[in-house]
Structure 1
Amino acid sequence: MADTTPRATSNRSTTPGSSTFKDYIGSQWAERERPLPEPREQAAHAAARRAGISELHPGRTIVVPAGQAKVRSNDCDYPFRPHSAFAHLTGWGSETVVGSVLVMTPNGSGHDTTLYFRATAGRDSEEFYANPEIGEFWVGPRPSLAEVAADLGVATADLGDLDAVVDGLDATVLVVRDADTDLTRSFDERLGSAVGGAPEQDGAPATDDVLARDLSELRLVKDAYEVHELRQAVAATKAGFDDVIADFDAVLAHPRGERIVEGTFNRRARADGNTVGYDTIAASGHHACILHWTRNDGAVQPGDLILIDAGVEVDSYYTADITRTLPVSGTFTEVQRMVYEAVLEAADAAFAIVKPGITFRQVHATAMEVIARKTAEWGFLPGTADESLQPENQFHRRYMVHGTSHHLGLDVHDCAKARREMYIDGVVQPGMVFTIEPGLYFQQDDLTVPEEFRGIGVRIEDDILVTEDGAENLSIGIPRTPSEVEGWIARSGR
């Protein structure tokens, strides 16, 4: 298997190495007496998800790694986040131990599941005090095998036992290849070819790509626990927006006020959740016309709009994804309001059609009809709205080149490896959660629009749950109409 030995720091280590020190630091520790936890709420949901993927791949061993920490610089890593498929199938969340691997082994009627991870080190080992990457003195204690087994309701084994399991595998094993590239490479080397490449067996799909697809499609419809977590993420995100508005004086006073917005929101994300679900976009003035503006190094000026696209990721890793566009001075100008109301009309029209049985692409098409009609009414298009909506024209897309919706869940752009016929051409079902986020963006040097429109960017984004007979806007409590937004800012004391 791949070498998982931590990166050495021997060239600057001052840890004593004498046997006398080792004996001393390994002695006189109190016994740990921690009662085993009850299974967490998501354990049953995770078991159902594993059953779903088991049914799709009978007779095949399935390996889903959590992954390794990613290097930020030298021996400093980014905060660890396991692969979303691993989180979905285990329910472990932010406590996940780096390098863990979920293995589902066929048993004739389904699969037996074992979670392999590096258990807590004994006080008689050097690891717990001398290893700065995984040692208890450095990063805190890891849970025991028994604790995790009780917590997640799944069999556990030490990561060191995985070697023997791999030795017994053949090329029919299926692996989530992008979760841990070193582990996947070691599988390939041991088995003599790319794993997951054997012919179909008992009707089971044969490739790792199909496994990745199926794991993605498994997340298209959310269970009750996932919906609850998304509600929590939206609530924390609302609090983050409230914090930003309350901090507007500091935002305006700083030459890089966009970063004050980012920092204020991120503080809430860390306080009420795990972190942000994606890099916060705090785009003031003409920066709002740059769709993924995350440099956030600009000033926030009175009279401008600021577009804030942000979401809190809770400890289970489910994330919100909300955008609000706010008038920095507290009220919209006439032109700003005109653009804002057009975007709001597009969002409301898209939401109005959401119900089980429509196709996902209809949401985008409905929003685009409004965008085409508005930009045609304003005289920005070289033709009528109907002409622009023809596939060969699409003039209105100059002002909104992105899509209107994407699925939401463990990833901000969830279910990304689902088939097109299951995603954009898929039928909307109860339990699906996706965004509706139309926008209008008039670049500061766009000569097709009057000067007073240039540099205005507006997006309104909400998180939508499909219900049995329609839809619920999970983020409706975050002000979104022009009057609501102005009142929101006024209530902050500005």
Structure 2
Amino acid sequence: MAEQNATAPRATSNRSTTPGSDRFKEYISTGWAERQQTVPSRRPAADRAAGRRAAIAALHPGARLIVPAGTAKVRSNDTDYPFRAHSAFSHLTGWGSDAVPGSVLVIEADGASTLYFREAAGRDSDEFYANPEIGEFWTGPRPSLAHVAADLGLDTAGLAAFAEVLDRVDASTLVVRDADRDITDRIDGRRLAAAEGVADVSRDGDAALARDLSELRLVKDDYEIGEMRAAVDATKQGFDDVIADLPAITAHRRGERLVEGTFNRRARAEGNTVGYDTIAASGPHACILHWTRNDGPVADGDLILIDAGIELESLYTADITRTLPVSGTFTEVQRRVYEAVLEAADAAFAIVRPGIRFREIHQTAMRVIAERTAEWGLLPVTAEESLDPDHQYHRRYMVHGTSHHLGLDVHDCAQARRELYLDGVLEPGMVFTIEPGLYFQPDDLTVPEEYRGIGVRIEDDILVTADGAENLSVGIPRTADDVEAWLRR
């Protein structure tokens, strides 16, 4: 890690005109007002994060756990995508959008935790003004060790000191492998040096750590649920903005891009950013499940499917889909499809309560989808026959799943074991989506022409409560009549 700090900034040799004379260095390093060193109060997420660190340490007794935040990802040459810390790092520290790139959390075998990060550089260093990758003149000031220690309730140390941790790596050291490739490679090398053949064993341990960190997020605490509510509220404002901008959107040849831009503006105003690339899919584009090119028109007579969510500064995100008639009114066929999808969503929500299995949500929604598509004459068999695992004809029109967990990641807890996720039993505090849909491709000859090119999805964010469930996004209009009234407003 120390070697990494010593490397020159990326791709600047042909662009740098920064003066290098001693007189300039002396001049730029002096004449600055003294900074006020304020120590913040501990942020609300910090105490919860301490409990999570204790929980993960208890699952891996005697092991040193290394959880990097990760580094900025290159977009092109020496420009990066905006930095976002790895979700496991954020969950265990409480550090959200303000996390410093390159930081590393280390939980020692005795449970003691230290957060290593690149602290603020002095103005007497050339990094301050001459390093466009991390220098304060270029990317802004970084917090002090004392500031972060008070903010997060964690022991802190400079990033250079992490080299000493690497020197102590042995067979008991585990790492979150996908967070920082450089750190993972260094740890792999040291584990190989520590004992012959330990690499395979260590990778098994790393996989177990990733699994346990995912499973630690399956049930949300009160703070997390509050963040999810706030993310949903902000997302509703984004949908309202899109509807208010519909005249400009429909007038533009790339109206889908305007939908994306309008929603993203709200995401930056009310949160950190969008939780995932916004899907603004109008007309037949709504039949493409992850349509993110968003380069088509938004035309009267079509439906537009908008799948979008705002990520807060804490990194918790909403995930909502609404399908809107661009003209303000559903046609008869559009309404028929829409109400079938809504029926499937409502049926799935109605069974949610502690004690049922997660997979039952999907099964319930699929029964409605099978019944409606059979009723419309689209299936070569009855609904019951189609529901047989060997048939599943109705899945031609909805190939995705109905639900996924939600939180710091839009597809949260993804590395949890199947028996705790898909086959898992619901518990109070779980948050997930319910998002059935129907998608009739424009060239699908198995459906009448009037259905072709129609895509509908309705997605809500659901909280399991002690005796049932709460739809966190119920305030965003869902029924066909309410959607039409929403557009009229």
TM-score by length of 1: 0.96
**1:101-135 deviations in whole A, cap 9, x for unaligned?**
0000122xxx0000000000001100011111111
Conserved? CA contact 1:171–1:193, under 8 Å: no
The residue number in structure 2 matching 1:180 is: 180
Which of 29, 48, 69 is 1:45 aligned to? 48
What is the Cα deviation at residue 198 of structure 1? Answer: 4.6
The residue number in structure 2 matching 1:320 is: 318
The residue number in structure 2 matching 1:136 is: 136
* 1:112 lines up with 2:115 in the alignment: no
**1:234-285 deviations in whole A, cap 9, x for unaligned?**
0010000000000000110000100000000000000000000000000000
Pairwise mapping of residues 42-441 of structure 1 onto structure 2 (< 5 A)?
42-107=45-110, 111-192=111-192, 198=198, 207-441=205-439
**Is the alpha carbon distance of 1:274 and 1:199 closer, same or farther for their aligned partners in structure 2, counting shifts above 3 Å?**
closer
1:160 aligns to what SS in structure 2? helix
Conserved? CA contact 1:336–1:456, under 8 Å: yes
Code of the aligned partner of 1:118: R
What is the Cα deviation at residue 10 of structure 1? Answer: 2.2
1:282 aligns to what SS in structure 2? strand
Conserved? CA contact 2:191–2:198, under 8 Å: no
Code of the aligned partner of 2:145: L
1:52 & 1:176 partners in 2: Cα distance?
16
Conserved? CA contact 1:282–1:308, under 8 Å: yes
2:382 & 2:200 partners in 1: Cα distance?
53
**Is the alpha carbon distance of 1:412 and 1:194 closer, same or farther for their aligned partners in structure 2, counting shifts above 3 Å?**
farther
Conserved? CA contact 1:173–1:195, under 8 Å: no
2:200 & 2:470 partners in 1: Cα distance?
42
Conserved? CA contact 2:63–2:172, under 8 Å: yes
* 1:9 lines up with 2:12 in the alignment: yes
What is the Cα deviation at residue 194 of structure 1? Answer: 9.9
Conserved? CA contact 1:343–1:438, under 8 Å: yes
**CA-atom RMSD in angstroms:** 1.7
**Is the alpha carbon distance of 1:332 and 1:206 closer, same or farther for their aligned partners in structure 2, counting shifts above 3 Å?**
closer
What is the Cα deviation at residue 191 of structure 1? Answer: 3.1
What is the Cα deviation at residue 486 of structure 1? Answer: 0.2
TM-score by length of 2: 0.97
Code of the aligned partner of 1:369: R
1:355 aligns to what SS in structure 2? coil
Code of the aligned partner of 1:320: A
1:301 aligns to what SS in structure 2? coil
1:197 & 1:484 partners in 2: Cα distance?
63
Conserved? CA contact 1:281–1:308, under 8 Å: yes
1:226 & 1:192 partners in 2: Cα distance?
39
The residue number in structure 1 matching 2:471 is: 473
What is the Cα deviation at residue 192 of structure 1? Answer: 2.3
2:188 & 2:374 partners in 1: Cα distance?
56
**1:172-192 deviations in whole A, cap 9, x for unaligned?**
100001100011111222332
Question: Number of residue pairs matched?
Answer: 486
Which of 475, 483, 486 is 2:484 aligned to? 486
Code of the aligned partner of 1:160: A
1:40 & 1:193 partners in 2: Cα distance?
40
**1:428-467 deviations in whole A, cap 9, x for unaligned?**
1100000000000001111111110110000000000000
Conserved? CA contact 1:171–1:197, under 8 Å: no
Conserved? CA contact 1:173–1:196, under 8 Å: no
> Unaligned 5+ residue runs, structure 1?
none
**1:455-482 deviations in whole A, cap 9, x for unaligned?**
0000000000000000000000000000
Conserved? CA contact 1:230–1:409, under 8 Å: yes
**Is the alpha carbon distance of 1:171 and 1:434 closer, same or farther for their aligned partners in structure 2, counting shifts above 3 Å?**
same
What is the Cα deviation at residue 207 of structure 1? Answer: 1.0
Once the two structures are aligned, what percentage of the paired residues are identical? 73
**Is the alpha carbon distance of 1:251 and 1:196 closer, same or farther for their aligned partners in structure 2, counting shifts above 3 Å?**
farther
